[in-house]
Structure 1
Amino acid sequence: MKYYLSVLAGAMSYGILSTIVVLAYGQGYQLGEVVGTQLITGFILSWMLALYTRFRAGRRAKRGLQRNEQSSASSASTVFTRLTWKQRLLLMAAGTPTVITGLVYYQSLRYIPASLAIILLFQFTWISVLIQAISKRQRPDKVTFLTLIILFGGTLLAAGFLEQGLGEFSGLGIVLGLMAAVSYSLFVLFSGKAVPSAHPAFRSAWMVTGGLILLCILFPPTFLFNGLIWSQLLVFGLLLGFFGAFIPPVLFAIGVPHIGGDMAGILGAVELPVAVLLSSFVLHEHVSGLQWFGVIIVLIGVALPELIKKIRMRRSEGQSSPLYS
């Protein structure tokens, strides 16, 4: 249960980000400054957690040796097996989609409402399924096609396309939102497959490190030297870093390897209502009843494949039991 709650809390943290970014834009800050302060904060917090975790494990191992508890000492040491540079580079590469997601998603918020941006980002649910189907060279089954239809219909309602028409929204903003969905789906898939044997704290730290390096190449952090960091930008950076670059990667690194990418995508559905609620109450964006109905349909579509899978498993277990033999 703790692994499910871990992924759930990580997804809820992602739902907070769009509201914070819109508020930061309202204060005049730019894209590179917003994402840069977020990742620098996440980088510091992630490595503080990793080093503290290693320090605690070292103390426990030392106590175990003093008590001649060699089994506990050996188990503590195996948890922190030193990563090779190949593994570190792999983790850093797996962290780069978080930067791309942040850049294109935050940029889309300049052109479209936050409630629409999060709905477009949320298309990662079916995009993840499509990527896995292509990588495994397997055609999606009937349940997947049904899910895609439900998600498409729910998206049209939730985004307000049926009420206001597609022409009322920025085409560039819609494209950026969908690009963020593709990048986010890659992050969800990679976060569970990149060096799963490594400790979650160090997996997260190296992933954030890779993302920060990429961002510094794309947007040199001039705000660190011109004094802008000591303005209100620091507050936004701390909030974004905590809820965007620190909490989700750590919690995903803990939970995804144990519950799988498919279930992680379903639990990530909680990000949608959290973001829409905050955009409605904090940013005062109009969200109609029809849009909320679309949000519910999207959530149903996301959960449908896993629900059908569980129903089939229960039926097969019931038919194979001695009662039916």
Structure 2
Amino acid sequence: MKYLLSVLVGAMSYGILSTIVVLAYGEGYQLGEVVGTQLLTGCILAWLLALYTKIRQTRKQRSQGITPAAARQASPALTWKQRILLMLAGAPTVVTGLVYYQSLRYIPASLAIILLFQFTWISVLIQAVSKRQRPDKVTLLTLLLLFGGTLLAAGIMDKGAAHFNVLGLALGLLSAVSYSMFIIFSGKAVPSAHPAYRSAWMVTGGLLLLCILFPPYFLFNGLLWGQLLLFGFLLGLFGAFIPPVLFAIGVPHIGGGMAGILGAAELPVAVLLSSFVLHEQVSGLQWTGVVLVLLGVMLPELYKLRWRMADTEASQA
């Protein structure tokens, strides 16, 4: 149960981000300042966790009588090639954050998170094209649920497509594309490395890219020591620190399938906070769409889980 809860809380943490960003915009802060402080605090927290992990591993090895030379041979340090690969894999997270947070300037947070969740079918499409495989019936049903749920959850049936800002819609969909690329690249980037070290180097790569795109003037002009520091800390805590740590704890024990199901908790949390904190109007029809999107996300994993249980019962019989 504790591993299930760790993944669930990690997913819910992601759902808090859009509300914090909108509140930061309300205080007059700009995109580069918001994302910059998020990655800065997230990077500091990630490296503190990596340092704690290193100290804990060293103490454990000493208690077991393992010499430093034997420890290095058993678990060699990351090479610079691997570190650069991890930093490059972290770059799509910056693109996702930039376009997703920028979309919040033009469309409601409840709609932005719906558009971000289109990464589910976009990932399927990318994999189908790259592997030249036609999606199966379950995948097609999933895509149908996601498409129908998105139309309802976005409020298009209530308000019409002309009601929404085209640039905001485009940015929201672009965030889904970049997030899909992050999922694909991050899973292949040095999977043998410890999650704490992987996370630290990936966040570092994202921070370096952001400093190139948006020079961190907030470090020198005094803005950092105002409310920006609070917003950045909250975004770094709930976006760049808590979810990776909790996922690293829980996913190996519950499996990727169940993690995918629990990961969908991000969506209702974001919509709920948009409604209660930001006072965005979410109709009953839109909530129906949210439920359909959640079903679309969970359906493939539930289908796989059902077949695994059937195979287990058959082997036991």
269-278 or 313-322, which deviates more:
313-322
Paired residue type of 1:92: M
**Sequence identity of aligned pairs in percent?**
74
For residues 223 and 34 of structure 2, what CA distance do their matches in structure 1 show? 11
Q: Which moved more, 1:249-258 or 1:158-167?
A: 249-258
Name the count of aligned residue pairs.
317
Q: Which amino acid aligns with 1:13?
A: S
2:164 to 142, 148, 169: 169
| 1: CA distance, partners of 2:191 / 2:5 | 19
Alignment correspondent of 1:62: 62
For 1:287-311, what per-residue CA distance to the aligned partner results, in whole angstroms no more than 9, with x for missing partners?
1111111111111111111222222
Q: CA deviation at 1:6?
A: 4.1
Distance change in 2, residues 1:125/1:139 (3 Å): same
Q: For 1:174 and 1:275, how far apart are their aligned partners in 2?
A: 17
Match of 1:91 in 2: 86
Whether contact under 8 Å (1:80, 1:199) holds in the other structure is no
1:252-304 per-position Cα deviation (integer Å, ceiling 9, x unaligned)? 45555776766544332111000000001100111111111111111111111
* Match among 194, 202, 206 for residue 207 of structure 1: 202
8 A contact 2:257–2:305 mirrored in 1: no
Name the residue aligned to 1:288.
283
Mapping of residues 99-110 of structure 1, within 5 Å = 99-110=94-105
Residues 173, 57 of structure 1: alpha-carbon distance in 2 compared, 3 angstrom cutoff? same
Partners of 1:247 and 1:88 in 2: how far apart? 22
Shift of 1:23: 0.2
For 1:90 and 1:301, the matched residues in 2 are separated by: 33
1:79–1:117 CA distance, 2 compared to 1 (3 A): farther
Structure 2 unaligned blocks of 5 or more: none
> Distance in 2 between the 1:213 and 1:42 partners?
13
* SS state at 1:87 partner: helix
> Which residue matches 2:16?
16
What's the CA shift string for 1:31-80, capped at 9, x where partnerless?
Answer: 00000000000011100110111012112222322xxxx4x989965775
Q: Shift of residue 316 of structure 1?
A: 4.5
Q: Which runs of 5+ in 1 are unaligned?
A: none
Deviates more, 1:161-170 or 1:79-88: 79-88
Q: CA deviation at 1:30?
A: 0.2
CA distance in 2, matches of 1:313, 1:209: 38
Counterpart code for 1:295? V
Q: Output aligned runs, 1:246-265, within 5 Å.
A: 246-254=241-249, 264-265=259-260
Offset, 1:93: 1.1
Is contact 1:256–1:264 with CA below 8 Å preserved after alignment? Answer: yes
State yes or no: 1:159 paired with 2:122: no
TM-score (norm 1): 0.90
CA-based RMSD: 2.3
Distance 1:311 1:19, change over 3 A: same
Q: CA deviation at 1:217?
A: 0.5
Matches within 5 A, 1:1-325: 4-65=4-65, 70=66, 80-254=75-249, 264-318=259-313, 322=317
The verdict on how the C-alpha distance between 1:4 and 1:196 changes in structure 2, with shifts beyond 3 A counting, is farther
